[in-house]
Every structure is written in structure tokens, then in C-alpha cells.
Amino acid sequence: MAKFPSVRWFDAVREVFNGDESVQGGGGGYCNCVAGMKVGKDIFVLTFEGVECTDAVKADDAALDDVDFYLDMPPADWREMIANIHTNNGADRHHTLNTLDLEREDGLATSHHGDQYREDLFFRYNQTFQYFFNASARIRTDF
Amino acid sequence: MAKSSKASKVRKARKAPAASAKPSAASDPAIAATPTLVSSQAQGKADSGQPEKLEPVLDWMNKTRQWGMRVKPGKAGLRLGDLNVGIYGEIPMQWSDQSRNPRGAVPRKGMPPVGYSVREKVGMWADSAADLYEEAIQRRWAPATDVPWNTIDKLPDDIERAICQVCTELSQFANVEIETIAGWQHQMVYGYHEVKQYLATASFDAAKHYECFRKRALVNGGGLGVEGPGQVNRMILESSGGWSATVAYLVLVRAVFTMTILKYLARHAYNDAERFIYEHVLQDKARLLTYGLDHLHFAVAHDDEQPAVLATVLAIGDRVLTRDLRDPALREALAIIFGRGIRGARRQGMETYEEMMADFMQTHLGYCRWLGIARAPAEAMPPPLNRHAGASVAA
């Protein structure tokens, strides 16, 4: 059981994601970027290299200056997404990263630097990020 | 006549020794270990039945611009961009060679010019091209087997018709992309091969998109709908003022429009197959968007005139896009999909359509701002773009 949000939780998801070869083909695969996760005031930075998520660390606000983009939601919305993924063994169409991005006034993915090239990595690798969060269905999450 | 006679002599000269004799590398010119050719002298002697080896010249062997390269594969393998070392990584701003000489090779004298029209780096380059090429190959998917087609169940007739209409128009968009890219690709010099190679994958992606939208239209008891109005298609295909202007239409207008539609379709998908298609096409399109933005960014940075030229190009594009948007087929079909039927289309569906169009304009104008391309204020745009642009500003 890993508590969300925590490095332990992201590490547990990483382990499932990195060990699942089925998400490395069919539109998934190589993904090279550094993505921030802003859960209310808590910030985590995930590093994706090749077919793996190689690192997850807790960070501070300043770290968001350096990431390619970050996903920003209040804790309640993160919890709802993760619970939905757990219930459905993957996000239903109301809880995909794409839908959440469309439904939030300022979008889900954003950046401090405003570099479109880096921000658009969210869409270029969207399936990989979705596969990553869908992998959380296979761990036990405590909120 | 003379040609065939010479050829027959060559064939004769290469004739293997008698079947009883075991051929060896030394005696059989066809399998000799060292490069061998049959000379005209040998041809003469061949008439007497005696094949003769030509003394190898091998003068090509010392002709290289840089020898001793040892590019090592990294964690992600040996990527196209990794090869840009030494003189092989010299990518000049102008490529004057009009032949098909690969970058870094020694040019051969007397090669007739091919007649490329895009010869300057500023006209096609994007730093990300090599990475995008690798990414396209690595993140490929196959519509035939990766899409979970069996998740598509029977849908109400109005919704099936709407999905088929949207798929008809999206497959047309994809076809235009193939033809546009292919039409320019052969006009681009060899010196910037990363771009040509990436565009080959973009063309392949578009073929895949054409395939899967057509498949979706035909897989569930429906069929193709009405051909789209096609004014933007024609504008993109007939754009001849340079690749950068075409990229502005193909990417800043068409790709951003298509990506916005795909995001909304994914959000309103009726089954896993459709969601898979929309999300995966979206991801492929994001690569084209990256190439386009990266290229236009490069073009704007290296050519002071480009922002003004692109602003004019896009202002023309606004008027053409407006004509397409006045056609009801795509709008109504999308509203039916978003509203989950004709009844829902009237209100919820059209509201979502308007929201989608505001999103499109917001994204489009945001990219223009990022590139430093001045755009007309919302109120100066032709209807209905002025309404969508106005809504995007308000949002």
C-alpha cells in the first residue's frame, strides 16, 4: 500500500510501468522528457528516458521552471482520477489526461517557460503518460 | 545493336568455368574476393573463350572526406542524429549541390542537376527532425491489429452517420497531407536529409490515418459520407510560394484544427476502438506539429521577412478556412457526436462544437504569438472565425 502523493507511490507505479512490455509498442515506446506533477502544493518530478520512467523525486516550486511541462490539479481531482483508474483498470473517457486537459480552464499540462516545443511533449507522448497512470491500477493506493 | 552485342560479350566473359571444375575465388571473377571487372580488353579475349580479370583500379577507395568514424550506439540505440559527427555533422545554411550526393560524400564530377527548388536550410530545417524521425519509427502502431476493433458495437443511426461523415472528412485531410508532403519532399535538397526522412514518416503516418478513418467508416454498418468542401485542401495543395508557407497552412491551420477535433472526439468516443484511433492519431499529429513549429521558429529566426510573409499567408488562410467552416456537414456531424444524437446536437452538441472552435483558435493564435507572427484582432477576422477567435480571447 502506497500513499498518494508520495515518491513511494510514484516508485511503485514506475515499477509496474517499467516492467510492462505491452506499453512499449502500439503507439507507446520511447519517451524522453522531464515532467512535473503538481498535486496541490506537493510537487514531484518524473524523468522518462527511453521506454522507462527512470526517476521520481519530490521537489519544490522552483523545479517547475526546469521541467518540460507539468500537470497541475488540486489533490481532490488527482484522487478522483486515480480512483477512477483503479475502478476501471484504466481511465474511463471522462478521466483520461486528454479529457482532463480539455475540461480544465487552464488545461492540465502547462509550463513556466512557455516554450511550445517542450509543452507539446505532453501530446507527443500522451499515450505513454496515460499508460503510466493506468499502471497505478495495479498497485494499492491509500489517500 | 552494338549495346546488346557488348552485353553478350560481357556475359560470355563472366561465364563460369566448366561444371567439373570447382569454382574458387581466385579463378571465378564472379566470386573473386577482390573487386574485379571485365575490361574491354578482356571482352576481346573473351571471344577466344578466355575470361580475364581486370586489374582493380580501386581509386575510389581513398576518396573520402573523413575516414575513421566510430559512432557508438547509446542507451537508445544508434540514432540518426548520433551520426552528425565530424564533417558529417556539418549542416550548412545553403546546399549548392544539385545532385543526389549524400551529405558528407565526395561529389562525382559531371552529375546533371536534379533541379531542387528548396535548397536553403532556412526553407526546411528543424533541429528536432532527426529525433522526430526516430520517434515516429519507435512509437509506430498498426491500425489493422492494434486498434481494438471488436469493441465497436452497433450505434444509433444518427450517431453512426455522424461518425462516418467525420471519418470521411478526416481521411480526406490525411490524403491531402500525404500529397502535400510528397509533392514537396522531392523538391528538397539532399543536404538536409533529416528533414526528408522525418517527412517520409509523416507521410506514412498520414497514410495510416487515411486507412484507419476509412476503416472506422466501413466497420460498423455505415459507409463513407459526403466529400468535404475542400477549399483548405486546395489551398494547402496548391500553396507554391515555398515550403515554409505550406507548413504554415499544413500545420498552423490544418494540423491544429485536426488535433483539436481529435481531442474532442477522444473525449466523446463511443468505444475503445475510436478512443484508440483518436488518441493515437493525435500523438502522430503532435510530431508533425512539433516539426512545423520548430521549422517555422527556425525560419523566423533566420529570415527577418518571414513573420510578415507568414502573417499574410495566414490572413489568406483565414478567408479560405472560413469558407470551409460555412459548410454544415462537419459541424453538424461533430455536434451530433458531442451531443450523443441529433436531439442532443441542437444544444449540448453545438455548445461543445463552439467550445472546440474557441479552443482551436486559442491554440492557433497562441502558436502564432509564440512564433512572433502578427495576427489580425478577432473582430477583423471573417465570420465565423471572428466569433471563435473572440470566444477564445474571452476564455
**Residue A60 distance to chain B (closest CA, Å):** 27
Distance CA A105, CA B179 (A): 37
Nearest CA in chain A to B360: A102
What percent of chain B has a predicted confidence (pLDDT) above 70?
87
User: B45: pLDDT confidence band, cut at 50, 70 and 90?
Assistant: low
The mean pLDDT value for A113-131 works out to: 94
Of B49-58, B104-113, B183-192, B253-262, the range with the lowest mean pLDDT is B49-58
Distance CA B225, CA B327 (A): 14
Res. B24: pLDDT tops 60: no
Distance CA A100, CA A81 (A): 9
Whether residues B370 and A114 touch (CB distance < 8 A) is answered with yes
Whether residues B279 and A25 touch (CB distance < 8 A) is answered with no
List, in order of start, the domains of chain B with CATH numbers.
121-394 (1.10.620.20)
Query: Of B333, B323, B310, B334, nearest to B232 (Cα)?
Result: B323
The mean pLDDT value for B224-238 works out to: 96
Res. B306: pLDDT tops 90: yes
Domain with A88 in it: 2-142
pLDDT at B51: 73
Q: What is the CATH number of the domain that holds A39?
A: 3.30.1050.10
Q: Does A22 touch chain B (CB under 8 A)?
A: no
The mean pLDDT value for A48-59 works out to: 96
Res. B367: pLDDT tops 90: yes
Q: Which residue bears the cell 515555398?
A: B242
pLDDT at A106: 87
Number of domains forming the structure of chain A: 1
The mean pLDDT value for A44-55 works out to: 96
pLDDT at B15: 37
User: B27: pLDDT confidence band, cut at 50, 70 and 90?
Assistant: very low
Res. A76: pLDDT tops 50: yes
Q: Considering CB atoms only, which of B140, B294, B366 is closest to A117?
A: B294
pLDDT at B48: 61
Res. A88: pLDDT tops 50: yes
The grid coordinates of residue A7 equal 515518491
The mean pLDDT value for A118-126 works out to: 95
The mean pLDDT value for B106-115 works out to: 92
User: What angle do the packed helices B272-302 and B350-371 form, to 10 degrees?
Assistant: 30
pLDDT in tens, B74-100: 888 999 999 999 999 999 999 999 899
Whether residues A28 and B139 touch (CB distance < 8 A) is answered with yes
Whether residues B366 and A25 touch (CB distance < 8 A) is answered with no
Residue B3 burial (10 A CB sphere; 0-12, 13-18, 19+): exposed
pLDDT at B323: 95
pLDDT at A140: 95
Res. B44: pLDDT tops 70: no
- Site from B127, B265, B279, B362 to mutate, A interface, most A CB atoms within 10 angstroms: B279
User: B40: pLDDT confidence band, cut at 50, 70 and 90?
Assistant: very low
Of A31-35, B18-22, B333-337, B362-366, the range with the lowest mean pLDDT is B18-22
Whether residues A30 and B264 touch (CB distance < 8 A) is answered with no
Cβ atoms of B305 and B299 within 8 Å: the answer is no
Q: Does A126 touch chain B (CB under 8 A)?
A: yes
Chain A and chain B share a number of CB contacts under 8 A equal to: 81
Q: Which residue bears the cell 490524403?
A: B175
Q: What is the dihedral angle through the alpha carbons of A132, A136, A139, A141, rounded to the nearest 10 degrees? A: 140
Res. B134: pLDDT tops 90: yes
Q: Does A60 touch chain B (CB under 8 A)?
A: no
Of A51-60, B8-17, B243-252, the range with the lowest mean pLDDT is B8-17
Query: Of B186, B249, B256, B177, nearest to B213 (Cα)?
Result: B177
User: B395: pLDDT confidence band, cut at 50, 70 and 90?
Assistant: low
Whether residues A126 and B267 touch (CB distance < 8 A) is answered with no
The mean pLDDT of chain B is: 89
Q: Considering CB atoms only, which of A27, A49, A98 is closest to B139?
A: A27
User: B21: pLDDT confidence band, cut at 50, 70 and 90?
Assistant: very low
pLDDT at B207: 98
Distance CA B62, CA B279 (A): 51
What percent of chain B has a predicted confidence (pLDDT) above 90?
82
User: B231: pLDDT confidence band, cut at 50, 70 and 90?
Assistant: very high
Nearest CA in chain A to B134: A30
User: What is the ipTM, given to two decimal places?
Assistant: 0.93
pLDDT at B5: 41
Whether residues B76 and A124 touch (CB distance < 8 A) is answered with no
Q: How many CA atoms lie within 13 A of A39 on its CB side?
A: 22
**Could you write out the DSSP letters of every residue in B165-203?**
HHHHHHHHHHHHHHHHHHHHHTTB-GGGHHHHHHHHHHH
Does the predicted model carry a pTM greater than 0.90?
A: no
pLDDT in tens, B326-356: 999 999 999 999 999 999 999 999 999 999 9
Q: Considering CB atoms only, which of B275, B297, B395 is closest to A93?
A: B275
**Residue A74 distance to chain B (closest CA, Å):** 21
Res. B240: pLDDT tops 60: yes
